[in-house]
Chain A
Amino acid sequence: MKLSGAEILLEALRLEGVEEIFGYPGGAVLDIYDRLPFSSLKHYLTRHEQGAAHAADGYARVTGKVGVCFATSGPGATNLVTGLATAQIDSVPIVAFTGNVPTYMIGNDAFQEVDTVGITRPITKHNFLVKDVRDLADTIKKAFHIARTGRPGVVLVDLPKDVTRELTDFFEEEYKSPVQIRSYKPVLKGHPGQIKRAAKAIASAERPVLYIGGGVVSSGASELVVKMAEVANIPMVATLMGLTAVPGNHPYFFGMLGMHGTYAANMAVTDCDLLIAIGARFDDRVTGKLSEFAPNAKVIHIDVDSAEIGKNKPVDIPIVGDAKLVMEELLPEVEKQVSKNKEFLLSREKWLMKVKSWAERYPLYYEPSDRVIKPQFVIEKLCEVTKGDAIITTDVGQHQMWVAQYYKFRFPRQLVTSGGLGTMGFGVPAAVGAKVGRPDKTVFCISGDGSFQMNMQEIVTAVQYSIPIKVAIINNGFLGMVRQWQGIFYDKNYSQVHLDVQPDFVKLVEAMGGVGIRVEKPEDVEKALKEAMTINNRPVVIDFVVDREEDVFPMVPPGGVLHEMILPKYGKKKIKKAI
């Protein structure tokens, strides 16, 4: 059957199981948009291409499927860049399609031409320029395969206009045949010898710690990891990306480690004699000063990307492989070893007690107030009202860290946040994508007054498609996280961080067609959250006017040592003695 390039694209997407896409049209993709209404795909018109990329990202993060976005050539493609970079660094599978000028005009500086593959090369896992319509189907197949296998990532396919226009044969059966890329063969199964060594090390360590990263969430290894902690009495800590891998109230879980990690998590890592890193990449926000990170520990590192192993920290037992597949092999080995080594489990109890005592002695803490709204209080209340069951997207800043600290997550893929790139403007469009992907869940975006203003136009997208996302702005009138750094490291020289001139968020949201609520008193927080939960047909934004100068603690200064945290002032609260 002869189809045009545009029709082939839409057919291929259907065969890949894609149902929803996010995009923004323009001249170079008109042939695609012309056929779109006749396809089975539901297209969401965002208000900015960055929004389309973040929405596809949010969709992918909550569903585990590949997110898809469209943009036109030139400015459309460049507007995608931040969104693609955000997804790539957090290993989120996305396939982005961009239009381009016809092949015979490429390189001429034609109207709306940019070198899209050149611009996006460093921020994608791979990218393609399709120069012949006969290569199109095969390229799309490869793009999806590369995006979703191995370490997931972003693949961009650039489509010159003539390629979407020309006709060629397309056979569904052929499309369904397996993908062949001879130079791409990700290693998924761990090396059996290394797995045995790891199991031995785990069974004989006195003070092991499980250091859980985003790879555990994306590979679906959560249950196995938690099981291992239980079988072998191992305390768990997680990165921002790894937070939802573990139920937030699990007795062996001590929260996030790193710059704004808990005292217990950071101390456990500092004191451990075996660090078991799974799907985590030793980011500097996690490790602080590398030479002092887990200074006395042997390191096991499980990662699907061999280039991550040993990149920042020397590793004793490297295991290249998919976290889930590796854990399926490793867990029975550990069980075997542990059953031989019962007395160790007892000494581990002591280790667990020690970590617990740190948690009790220096818990997360803020000074409560009945006068002003404390941001942490909002997150705690949110967790209560949503029963810990909402999908939370965030922007970037203090509010993001408070979410990480105070929301007790219950299931994997529940937190959608820009960990690696730290992209302000991510939260609202990501929430749109997340709600499209999981319409059964409450989706709450926690944003800052600064971040919200970066992509708030996507509220209109939510209005257009009746997507009932909820947004809580933690409004401190500052670029809060920057102000915090200026406060601590720059002698309170608050340069260019005041957001005194602000839109009236309530009126603004109403003008966009959503519901706006303002909350200024602590006693109204819960009521507003509950009210937001009742609105099911359009977006609602709650503007929480909070304490202006609240800081995030604990804090490890950048490049500092994990166990030298700046702790909150515990005020009148009684701190229990360490056991």
Chain B
Amino acid sequence: MERPLHRKHVISVLVENQPGALARIIELFSSRGYNIESLNVGRTEDPTISRITMVAKGDEHTIEQIVKQLRRIIDVFKVRDLTDKKKLDRELLIVRINVDSNEKKEEVKRLVDIFGAQIVDLSQDTYTVELTGDEEQIDAFLELIKPLGIREMARTGRVAMVRALQGDTFDEK
């Protein structure tokens, strides 16, 4: 049998900012054995509403099911699959890099320049760098600094919003 095409989907959810709401959403994934690649929650312009951006891998049918199931949750206002929309799509990376030689320090500064990142903290032999960008940019940056030695890192997963030309992010529950 032909395996259905799996790709990463970016799903944006507006949800009542209430205890239990997030649990319900996560449970929807875990109880069906779907894996969430990244999950981001934060408040919106209305403090009682949170925006969740999640990235999940799956075939079209599975993702469509997830979207429908999400809409069914009482606390959920709106759900939209942003995958094929023109969107602003960002992730934040904080990474502590090993710089135990001057060459390494120079190399990091050079890469920080090229990528438009920032050194936000330092110690004798580490630089901590912050970078905002889309997933590919962040992956590329990490690839380049990997040989220097990554001590520790944290990335947020994506947040996303459709571009203004595409109309409002949400037009349906």
Do A and B come from the same complex? yes
- A232-267 vs B, Cβ < 8 Å mask (1 yes, 0 no): 000000000000000000000000000000000000
Asked whether B77 lies within 8 Å of A182 as measured between CB atoms, the reply is yes
B31 is an interface residue with CB less than 8 A from chain A: yes
Stretch at the interface among B64-72, B81-89, B143-151: B64-72
- A162-203 vs B, Cβ < 8 Å mask (1 yes, 0 no): 000000000000000000011111000000000000000000
A1 is an interface residue with CB less than 8 A from chain B: no
B75 is an interface residue with CB less than 8 A from chain A: yes
Which residues of the other chain, A, contact B15 by a CB distance below 8 angstroms? 183
A326 to chain B, nearest CB (A): 18
Stretch at the interface among B19-27, B117-125, B162-170: B19-27
Asked whether B31 lies within 8 Å of A122 as measured between CB atoms, the reply is yes
A463 is an interface residue with CB less than 8 A from chain B: no
From A184, which residue of chain B is reached at the shortest CB distance? B74
A117 is an interface residue with CB less than 8 A from chain B: yes
A106 to chain B, nearest CB (A): 11
Instruction: Please tell me which one of the listed residues A121, A129, A305, A311 contacts residue B27 in the complex, with CB atoms under 8 A apart.
Output: A121
A188 to chain B, nearest CB (A): 14
Instruction: Please tell me which one of the listed residues B20, B71, B77 contacts residue A121 in the complex, with CB atoms under 8 A apart.
Output: B20
Asked whether B65 lies within 8 Å of A307 as measured between CB atoms, the reply is yes
Asked whether B69 lies within 8 Å of A307 as measured between CB atoms, the reply is yes
From A314, which residue of chain B is reached at the shortest CB distance? B61
Asked whether A183 lies within 8 Å of B20 as measured between CB atoms, the reply is no
B76 is an interface residue with CB less than 8 A from chain A: yes
Instruction: Please tell me which one of the listed residues B16, B20, B64 contacts residue A127 in the complex, with CB atoms under 8 A apart.
Output: B20
How far, in whole Å, are A182 and B173 apart by their CA atoms in the complex?
A: 11
From B74, which residue of chain A is reached at the shortest CB distance? A126
How far, in whole Å, are A284 and B14 apart by their CA atoms in the complex?
A: 33
From B24, which residue of chain A is reached at the shortest CB distance? A121
- A291-310 vs B, Cβ < 8 Å mask (1 yes, 0 no): 00000000000000111001
- B126-154 vs A, Cβ < 8 Å mask (1 yes, 0 no): 00000000000000000000000000000
Q: Chain A: how many interface residues by the 8 Å CB criterion?
A: 19
Q: How large is the interface on B (under 10, 10 to 19, 20 to 34, 35 or more residues)?
A: 10 to 19
With A117-B20, A122-B27, A183-B16 as contacts: A307 and B74 at CB distance below 8 Å: no
Which residues of the other chain, B, contact A125 by a CB distance below 8 angstroms? 74
Which residues of the other chain, A, contact B69 by a CB distance below 8 angstroms? 307
Which residues of the other chain, B, contact A181 by a CB distance below 8 angstroms? 74
Asked whether B19 lies within 8 Å of A129 as measured between CB atoms, the reply is yes
Asked whether A121 lies within 8 Å of B23 as measured between CB atoms, the reply is yes
From B173, which residue of chain A is reached at the shortest CB distance? A185
From B28, which residue of chain A is reached at the shortest CB distance? A122
Instruction: Please tell me which one of the listed residues A121, A182, A311 contacts residue B65 in the complex, with CB atoms under 8 A apart.
Output: A311
Which residues of the other chain, B, contact A122 by a CB distance below 8 angstroms? 27, 31
Asked whether A129 lies within 8 Å of B20 as measured between CB atoms, the reply is yes
Asked whether B75 lies within 8 Å of A310 as measured between CB atoms, the reply is no
Which residues of the other chain, B, contact A182 by a CB distance below 8 angstroms? 16, 77
With A121-B27, A146-B74, A183-B77 as contacts: A306 and B68 at CB distance below 8 Å: yes
Which residues of the other chain, A, contact B27 by a CB distance below 8 angstroms? 121-122
How far, in whole Å, are A184 and B27 apart by their CA atoms in the complex?
A: 19
Which residues of the other chain, B, contact A17 by a CB distance below 8 angstroms? none
How far, in whole Å, are A118 and B22 apart by their CA atoms in the complex?
A: 12
Which residues of the other chain, A, contact B76 by a CB distance below 8 angstroms? 183
With A181-B74, A183-B77 as contacts: A307 and B68 at CB distance below 8 Å: yes
8 Å CB interface, A117-161 against B: 117-118, 121-122, 125-127, 129, 146
Which residues of the other chain, B, contact A127 by a CB distance below 8 angstroms? 20
Asked whether B74 lies within 8 Å of A183 as measured between CB atoms, the reply is yes
Would you list 17 pairs from A and B whose C-beta atoms are within 8 A, ordered by A residue? A117-B20, A118-B23, A121-B20, A121-B23, A125-B74, A129-B20, A183-B16, A183-B74, A183-B75, A183-B173, A185-B173, A305-B72, A306-B71, A307-B68, A307-B69, A307-B72, A311-B65
With A122-B27, A307-B68, A307-B69 given, name 16 new contacts (CB 8 A).
Answer: A117-B20, A118-B23, A121-B20, A121-B23, A121-B27, A122-B31, A126-B74, A146-B74, A183-B16, A183-B74, A183-B77, A183-B173, A184-B74, A306-B68, A306-B72, A310-B64
B residues at A contact (CB < 8 Å): 15-16, 19-20, 23-24, 27, 31, 64-65, 68-69, 71-72, 74-77, 173
**8 shortest A-B CB distances, which residue pairs?**
A307-B68, A126-B74, A183-B77, A307-B72, A184-B74, A183-B16, A307-B69, A183-B75
